[in-house]
Structure 1
Amino acid sequence: MTNLTITSDSLYGMESTPTSILLRFGKRELFICRDYYKRLYKSNPLIECSAGVQPGHLQILLLRRWLVVMSKAH
């Protein structure tokens, strides 16, 4: 079963994000929001993957605009 939650909590310092989406698939979470972080390097224009802020998290930057964070549900 999938739970859809629209929130603006302080996950990953996104308290200034007007809308974000948190999807839960069993023991996994998928957090999607706009990325307002000013990167000091040139990112890949299509997709860029990196380790998340916390252990076990994967951050995916899509089209330099959308941040997708994959993690285990707490």
Structure 2
Amino acid sequence: MSTLNSSFGSRFGLEYLPTSFMVRMGKREMMVCRDFRKRFYAVNPIMECDTGVQAGHLEVLLFRRWLLILSKSKAH
């Protein structure tokens, strides 16, 4: 059984979230999960975009609940 190497490291803490999934499309990855971080600023109620925790990641927060993390795939 082979394991896919995800570019989403442990810095995101996503391994503890049961409601997350990842989609790989060619050289890109998209992780979808519930937002678990405390935000210390006013968040747009529909969509909020920000740079990710790691370099090369883009975070899109939808409806203050769902977090989409977009990145480049490291698996070959």
Q: TM-score, normalised by structure 1?
A: 0.80
Letter in 1 for 2:31: F
Higher relative contact order (CA 8 A, sep 6+): 2
Instruction: Give, in angstroms, the shift of residue 11 of structure 1.
Output: 6.0
**Residue 41 of structure 1: aligned partner:** 41
Count, aligned residues: 66
Task: Give 3-state SS (helix, strand or coil) of 1:56's partner.
Answer: coil
> How large is the RMSD of aligned CA atoms in angstroms?
1.6
Question: Is there any run of 5+ residues in structure 2 with no aligned partner, and where?
Answer: 1-8
Q: TM-score, normalised by structure 2?
A: 0.78
Question: Is there any run of 5+ residues in structure 1 with no aligned partner, and where?
Answer: 1-8
Whether 1:55 and 2:55 are equivalent positions in the alignment is yes
Runs of 4+ in 1 over 3 A off after TM superposition: none
Seq. identity, %: 53
